[in-house]
Structure 1
Amino acid sequence: MDPASNNTQQPLGDADQSMRNAAWPAGYGAQTDADMQAMRAGMEFLTRALGMAGPAGPNVGDEQEDHHQEDQHEWMGHQVQEQSPLCVAGPMQIIAGDGAFFDQDVDDFIHSAREISPKSADYAVVSIIGAQSSGKSYLLNCLFGTSFKVMNASTGRRQTTKGMWLSRCVRPSLFIMDVEGSDGRERGEDDTSFEKQGALFALTISDLMMVNMWLRDIGREQGGSIPLLRTVFRERAKLEPGRTKVLVVIRGYDNETPFNTLVDDVVTNMEELWKSIHDQPGRPRVLFRDYIEVSVVALPDKIQEQKFKREVAKLREWFAKNSLVGFRQDKVSASDFSFSAKGIWEAIRQNKRLNLPAHRVMVSSFFCEKVVKESINSLESNEDYLSLKKGAQGSPKEFSEKLGALLKSLLTHFDTETELYEAQERAAKRQELEDEVLHQVEPICRDLLYALRLRTSSESKDKITNLFGNADDPSTIVDQSVEDCLKKYIESCEDLRTRYKNLCDENCKVLKSELLSFAKIMAERIKDMRIRVEAEHARDEAEQKAERVKAEAALAKEEANREAERAKEETERLIEQARKEAEQAKQEADKRAREAELAATNNQLNNPLMGLGALIGAIGRGILFGPAGMVGMGGGMLGPTMQNQYGPLPAVAFNLLTLHRAMDMNLHTLQQAMLTEPPTLQ
């Protein structure tokens, strides 16, 4: 059977060979006798394992449930190849009869599935709705080997399934959900909200919703599940377009009505119901086929045991070969199933309009955020992150490579874990993860850039100092020297700039300010130093010049002293010479005096007075140059006068007296000159 086509469905009963071949994949209807015998043997074993006890169904009470479960598990353990799909867990209650959702139990149940990766959507949900006591649970047990509780007809026909229950199958991975039946007396005619909510919930979360309907109830309001379908169709049109798979299972098919006619009736009834809801004046037309994809299968009454088993086996084989896994593209991962289903159920219970796109966004946001938090919390045990912390003093290039490896690892993990979620929400949370990782790493990067700034600053200061030392005027190259140093720093940070632009710019700004300040101070310092050096040089030259002048002055003084000494010596020599000459003159004078005296004596003899006067006059003119000479001259003149006035004797005596006084005066003058120090030249 190919449920994708509404018009090719064929009865699963005793239709002719060609019809069966059209309804099922190749091999479904063209079975050999050996195949049929093997199938019957397998079904008999399955019947025993599931506790089937004849046409009326299993006659097991509550006290037999545990034994029934043990028999089923034993069958599954020994006959793994006998049935596919194969139930391996459940049932467990997902929603209670009062509407409580057991999210933790569901989550534990899902995570216990080893065959399903928690982060994958490699599973399908199959649910069943229909009237109470219409054999829904019994059909599921026969199809999938589940052990949903079934009605015990011997104790009375009453509600068996309360709320919703879940079982898990493998080959393929299916979650089978049994929904509480509708139109039960336990809830009453007025309390239909739960059954409608349950039907809508089943439609919303299922890959395939089965509608269990007895042949005799087709066209009926309650038996034909019209109230449930009306609710489902009304709400389905409010959701986004996309064909929802609905498999109508006609029970008790007797082959009297041609199957094609039966299919047409079912589909027509559904289309008419759809139009009655949505074809309203003034509203846009909403086509049934754009939202619902209906398939129809027919099963004989279970009273026809072998026939029923055979047709159920074919339907089971269709589930095995035509997997529903991957049919829906908007399905959440297995680990998110409980959270998502609970959100949908709560919205339905609160009579909120179902907005599945918004719900998917909410689910995506929640679980993407969860992955983000898990990734951030795992950083302290992440080798790449720890390597970053240890290598904080390395080069920016090495740091950037390690950071890139860390981000790649975390983002790849994020992409893998969230591949089933909404693309827009994934992108936003992915960016949030990257931003948060960069925020966590920022202190390490800050330390790295700080250390790099210190090294660059030290190296740049040495470079600037050397550069300024060779410049004629450092103040003219301050800006250019700083820019050259910054260029090297910027190039070093290039690998980190794409992720930490603000941090790099901040450090670059601080470095520029620091180097600019240093360069200006250094330029002024070098300028001042050069001025000081020039001043010191000028002072040294002045001092050297002063020293030379001083030395020359000392030499001049020494020379002057020597000249003075020589002058003194010359003066002393001249004085000594004058004294000697005076002595000689005195001696000569004495000599001449004696001679004059002698001559006078001789003249006295001849002319005593005249001779004496002339002699004294001569002596007076010859002795020295001073007063004595004048005296002598006077004496020479006075002698005759005195001779004339007083006679010869008084004149002679006067001349002698004058000569003696003159000689005493000259001697005194010479003595004073010898005792006086000659002047010293400075």
Structure 2
Amino acid sequence: MNVVPDVDHLSSRDYIVPDMLDSPIPSSGKPEIFKQEKPAAAQPRLHLINEEQKFSEHLSSFINEKWGLKDSGFNYNLAAVFGSQSTGKSTLLNRLFGTSFDVMSESSRQQTTKGIWISKGKDMKVLIMDVEGTDGRERGEDQDFERKSALFSLATTEVLIVNLWEHQVGLYNGANMGLLKTVFEVNLQLFGGNRGKEKTLLLFVIRDHVGATPLANLSNTLRVDLERIWHGLSKPEGLEDCKITDYFDFMFTTLSHKLLQPEKFEADVDQLRLRFTDPNNPNYVFQPQYSRRVPVDGLHIYAGGIWDKIMTNKDLDLPTQQELLAQYRCDEIASAAFAIFQEKVKEFRQPIESGNIVEDLGPKMNEIRSVAIKSFDKDASRYHAEVYKRKRAEMMSKANHMLEAYFLGQLKNLHKKAVSMFSTKLQNTLRGDGVEFSVAVADSKKEALDYFLQGAKAIKLDETEWSFDEELYQLEQGLKELAAVQREKELNKMLAALEKHLRKELDEPIGLALNNPGPGMWGRVITIYQRTVEDGEQLLQKRARTFDLNEHEQAELTLNLRRQAWVLLTKKVQEESADGMMLLKLRNRFEEKFRYDDHGLPRVWKPDDDIDTPFRKARDETVELVPLFAKINTLDPIKGEKIELEATDDFDFDQSLKVLSESRQQEITNKFKRESDAFYLEAKRSVVATQAKLPYWVGVALVILGWNEFIAVIKNPLYLMVLAMVGVPMAAMWYLDMLGLVETVAWKVYDQGYKIAMDKLREAMDKSHEGQGKQQNQQQHHQQCQPQQFSSQSQLNNRFVSRSDSFREENGVELDSLDKKSL
């Protein structure tokens, strides 16, 4: 049998002590050493389970406040004392631990300890339970509480102190063998499945040992009795062959007679106390294998749960109770730690929700989480290991879940910041000269992604499954889309620049080609188009390289360039083929043929010159040019093949070739003919003017008759100045045969001035309606002026008609053939 070594008693205990059990007590009263005295500084005690078998609700407050064990964790021990009633259990505890349990009255011999009391040892972290004695007459044959108290003590304490008298060793009832049988039965109930793992220490304290029987003999007797009881137990299935030493360790010690040997009794008590206070003592009782692994801050919950199970007659599964305690306490500890954790992380919410990036968010979150976990570990690691690990993982998961919201919020803000950095960097780079778009995009993208990755990695905490891969993918796609949009803008800018270049290269040369109409006109236009397109394609390829375009995109841009150049060409052709421009071209060609000779010199018509033949020839040749403008001829004179462009929804190549319709050709021809008539009339008029010269004698007569007036004008500077200002221009116009033209222009100026005056008058009349008084005055004025204006206008019109009629009668042609633009 594995037995913990017995106490080495002092040698003085071996001497023979006179038998004084029958000696009469002195009549003078109890000796001084027999008086019951409580320690002066005893610890407060608590009625843990009262006589009504109710568990106290104040155990936690006693542990934390009155006994000062709040932060002790596992650094405490718990023992209980058993024994028959009135055997001095409370007295032993008071002497041994400095407690203040009530002791039996010497006069009444009644039960003093009812239920279970608990207190703390003086100057030691040991809790002691004083259990109600057995065999008390107060409970009689009711052994229910005895079993319950034994079950409770085994489930909660590490050491059971069995208190008995020396003369009771060998007796069944006197040696508490019935109580020990109960202890063995409930121990199998509690720890049957933990054979060899969960043990309880039974410390037998044999009182009033006078030395007649050695301790070895007494301990052997008790061992034999204990073995006999163990073998007589009805053991659970599967534990039939178990031994008592699989569940119990034993220690035996004696105490001298308190009355007969008071000094030795005190010395023995001091030696016994060392077993509870000195870990270096070879007989130290609080060994690790006896610990129930219940932290002191959870003892009230654990003990209360044990007693509740006992009172409800439910099967008491001690490991389950320890797990339940661990779950309860770990939840409490986790809640307290998490509340502090929540309060600290609140500071991140507002800035992140506002779209700001919190500096050092990762280290801050990690520090707050570490503080919370350490706070949890400090108190919760004392409890059931599996429960602690599970609850720790739950708290870690809960904390990570809360922090993940800030992680994702920070990622979103990093995403926005990276996009902003990319856009700003790209635009600033593209403002420079000679920058390749693909290089600018690559540099800007690298900077943005590096910024995001650096920030994302900094806020990713260990022991999490957080990932920023999805956000990184979204960022890359977003940057790709932004780059595509920016590339489209830059391409449009490049194409706009190319379009400007094409317009510059096409407008003037095509205008010159169309201003010189003839059989090779469209050939020159197509040559200009081809040369411009080739230059544009070279420029496009040079600039398109910077955009990293594929072959299909380059081919599409080239085709669009050709279409755009053709559209610009057709626009220029349409501008040049407008009615006014066509008439101007035809008039210029007609003037070139009619008003100038073959050598390019101006013609001066004489009375004997044939005007009609050159007029008809020039007009017919000019009219033949109109069909030339009807349709663009796409034949390339250099390559000898026609240009063909693929049509699209917005571009119809065949339709773009049509310039002048049949109706427009006819209209332009008619207009030109009317304008050419004016040139014909002008030529005729110049011939008439040369024929209508005055005779010389008329001039001589005018000189003689106007000599006085001539002298008066010469002598008067004012008249002379007026004559010079009016006469010289009139003489020049007469000499140049421009009087008719000047007259026509004068009438045009008059007509235009009249229209402007009428418009101004209408505006003035409209403004006059703002005030009622002004309106009436303006109306009266208008009524007065209107007849005069109509009269004046009629006079002018009549004058113009009369002059037109006289001119028509003089020349024999119609003035309607004159075109206003030609004049």
Amino acid at match of 1:290: D
Superposed CA deviations along residues 198-237 of structure 1, whole A, max 9, x for unmatched, are 1221222222210111223323333322232222222323
Partner of residue 51, structure 2: 97
Q: Secondary structure at the match of 1:575?
A: coil
Tell me by how many angstroms 1:93 deviates: 0.6
Tell me by how many angstroms 1:394 deviates: 7.3
Structure 2: any 5+ residue segments left out of the alignment?
A: 16-29, 518-583, 612-686, 692-810
Partner of residue 81, structure 1: none
Partner of residue 492, structure 1: 455
Tell me by how many angstroms 1:467 deviates: 8.8
TM-score normalised according to structure 2 size: 0.56
Q: Secondary structure at the match of 1:363?
A: helix
Instruction: Select which of 148, 156, 176 maps to 1:225.
Output: 176
Instruction: Select which of 261, 273, 279 maps to 2:229.
Output: 273
Note if contact 2:63-2:70 (Cα within 8 Å) is conserved in structure 1.
no
Paired residues for 1:136-175 under 5 Å: 136-155=89-108, 157-175=109-127
Structure 1 residues 210, 219: CA separation in 2 closer, same or farther (over 3 Å shift)?
same
Partner of residue 572, structure 1: 605
Partner of residue 306, structure 2: 344
Tell me how far apart the structure 2 counterparts of residues 444 and 158 of structure 1 sit (CA, whole Å).
69
Which region of structure 1 is more displaced relative to structure 2, 176-185 or 516-525? Answer: 516-525
Superposed CA deviations along residues 154-183 of structure 1, whole A, max 9, x for unmatched, are 12x322111111111243211121001112
Q: Secondary structure at the match of 1:177?
A: strand
Structure 1 residues 198, 54: CA separation in 2 closer, same or farther (over 3 Å shift)?
farther
Residues 1:127 and 2:80 aligned together: yes
Structure 1 residues 248, 485: CA separation in 2 closer, same or farther (over 3 Å shift)?
same
Amino acid at match of 2:166: L
Note if contact 1:230-1:274 (Cα within 8 Å) is conserved in structure 2.
yes
Partner of residue 652, structure 2: none
Tell me how far apart the structure 2 counterparts of residues 213 and 373 of structure 1 sit (CA, whole Å).
48
Which region of structure 1 is more displaced relative to structure 2, 550-559 or 172-181? Answer: 550-559
Tell me by how many angstroms 1:338 deviates: 0.9
Tell me how far apart the structure 1 counterparts of residues 122 and 351 of structure 2 sit (CA, whole Å).
49
Structure 1 residues 513, 228: CA separation in 2 closer, same or farther (over 3 Å shift)?
farther
Tell me how far apart the structure 2 counterparts of residues 295 and 116 of structure 1 sit (CA, whole Å).
28
Residues 1:314 and 2:344 aligned together: no
* Greater RCO structure (CA 8 Å; 6+ sep): 1
Q: Secondary structure at the match of 1:128?
A: strand
Note if contact 2:158-2:291 (Cα within 8 Å) is conserved in structure 1.
no
TM-score normalised according to structure 1 size: 0.66
Note if contact 1:171-1:320 (Cα within 8 Å) is conserved in structure 2.
no
Superposed CA deviations along residues 12-56 of structure 1, whole A, max 9, x for unmatched, are 694349xxxxxxxxxxxxxxxxxxxxxxxxxxxxxxxxxx97676
Note if contact 1:14-1:255 (Cα within 8 Å) is conserved in structure 2.
no
Paired residues for 1:487-636 under 5 Å: 488-498=451-461, 502=466, 504-527=468-491, 530=494, 534-535=498-499, 537-539=501-503, 541-549=505-513, 557-558=587-588, 560-566=590-596, 570=603, 572-573=605-606, 575=608
Partner of residue 200, structure 1: 151
Tell me how far apart the structure 2 counterparts of residues 389 and 326 of structure 1 sit (CA, whole Å).
51
Partner of residue 245, structure 2: 289
Note if contact 1:278-1:285 (Cα within 8 Å) is conserved in structure 2.
no
Amino acid at match of 2:228: E
Structure 1 residues 181, 544: CA separation in 2 closer, same or farther (over 3 Å shift)?
farther
Structure 1 residues 449, 114: CA separation in 2 closer, same or farther (over 3 Å shift)?
farther
Tell me by how many angstroms 1:120 deviates: 2.1
Percent identity of paired positions between Structure 1 and Structure 2:
24
Structure 1 residues 112, 236: CA separation in 2 closer, same or farther (over 3 Å shift)?
same
Q: Secondary structure at the match of 2:93?
A: helix
Instruction: Select which of 171, 194, 198 maps to 1:242.
Output: 198
Structure 1 residues 101, 544: CA separation in 2 closer, same or farther (over 3 Å shift)?
farther
Pairwise CA RMSD? 4.2
Structure 1 residues 211, 490: CA separation in 2 closer, same or farther (over 3 Å shift)?
same
Partner of residue 623, structure 1: none
Paired residues for 1:319-334 under 5 Å: 319-322=276-279, 327=288, 328-334=290-296
Superposed CA deviations along residues 575-631 of structure 1, whole A, max 9, x for unmatched, are 269999xx9xxxxxxxxxxxxxxxxxxxxxxxxxxxxxxxxxxxxxxxxxxxxxxxx
Instruction: Select which of 9, 13, 16 maps to 1:15.
Output: 13
Partner of residue 758, structure 2: none
Partner of residue 421, structure 2: 459
Paired residues for 1:15-34 under 5 Å: 15-16=13-14
Amino acid at match of 1:256: A
Tell me how far apart the structure 2 counterparts of residues 8 and 454 of structure 1 sit (CA, whole Å).
78
Partner of residue 24, structure 2: none
Tell me how far apart the structure 2 counterparts of residues 281 and 543 of structure 1 sit (CA, whole Å).
113
Superposed CA deviations along residues 310-360 of structure 1, whole A, max 9, x for unmatched, are 322332344333465674554322221111111222223333333332222
Note if contact 1:246-1:295 (Cα within 8 Å) is conserved in structure 2.
yes
Partner of residue 34, structure 1: none
Superposed CA deviations along residues 641-667 of structure 1, whole A, max 9, x for unmatched, are xxxxxxxxxxxxxxxxxxxxxxxxxxx
Note if contact 1:127-1:176 (Cα within 8 Å) is conserved in structure 2.
yes
Note if contact 1:123-1:326 (Cα within 8 Å) is conserved in structure 2.
no
Structure 1: any 5+ residue segments left out of the alignment?
A: 18-51, 59-67, 77-86, 584-673
Tell me by how many angstroms 1:565 deviates: 2.1
Q: Secondary structure at the match of 1:15?
A: helix
Q: Secondary structure at the match of 1:294?
A: strand
Partner of residue 112, structure 1: 65
Structure 1 residues 325, 121: CA separation in 2 closer, same or farther (over 3 Å shift)?
farther
Tell me how far apart the structure 1 counterparts of residues 442 and 465 of structure 2 sit (CA, whole Å).
23
Paired residues for 1:252-267 under 5 Å: 252-267=208-223
Note if contact 1:55-1:304 (Cα within 8 Å) is conserved in structure 2.
no
Note if contact 2:67-2:120 (Cα within 8 Å) is conserved in structure 1.
no
Note if contact 2:363-2:459 (Cα within 8 Å) is conserved in structure 1.
no
Note if contact 1:397-1:492 (Cα within 8 Å) is conserved in structure 2.
no
Tell me how far apart the structure 2 counterparts of residues 284 and 396 of structure 1 sit (CA, whole Å).
68
Which region of structure 1 is more displaced relative to structure 2, 445-454 or 528-537? Answer: 528-537
Amino acid at match of 1:178: D
Tell me by how many angstroms 1:440 deviates: 3.1
Note if contact 1:119-1:418 (Cα within 8 Å) is conserved in structure 2.
no
Structure 1 residues 135, 462: CA separation in 2 closer, same or farther (over 3 Å shift)?
same
Tell me by how many angstroms 1:503 deviates: 6.2
Tell me how far apart the structure 1 counterparts of residues 54 and 488 of structure 2 sit (CA, whole Å).
83
Structure 1 residues 99, 480: CA separation in 2 closer, same or farther (over 3 Å shift)?
farther
Tell me how far apart the structure 1 counterparts of residues 140 and 435 of structure 2 sit (CA, whole Å).
104
Superposed CA deviations along residues 272-304 of structure 1, whole A, max 9, x for unmatched, are 322322678864532222321111111233331
Residues 1:302 and 2:235 aligned together: no
Tell me how far apart the structure 1 counterparts of residues 505 and 178 of structure 2 sit (CA, whole Å).
120
Paired residues for 1:365-444 under 5 Å: 365-379=327-341, 382=344, 385=345, 388=348, 392=352, 398-444=360-406
Note if contact 1:365-1:429 (Cα within 8 Å) is conserved in structure 2.
yes
Q: Secondary structure at the match of 2:204?
A: strand
Structure 1 residues 252, 354: CA separation in 2 closer, same or farther (over 3 Å shift)?
same
Amino acid at match of 1:572: W
Amino acid at match of 2:121: C
Q: Secondary structure at the match of 2:154?
A: helix
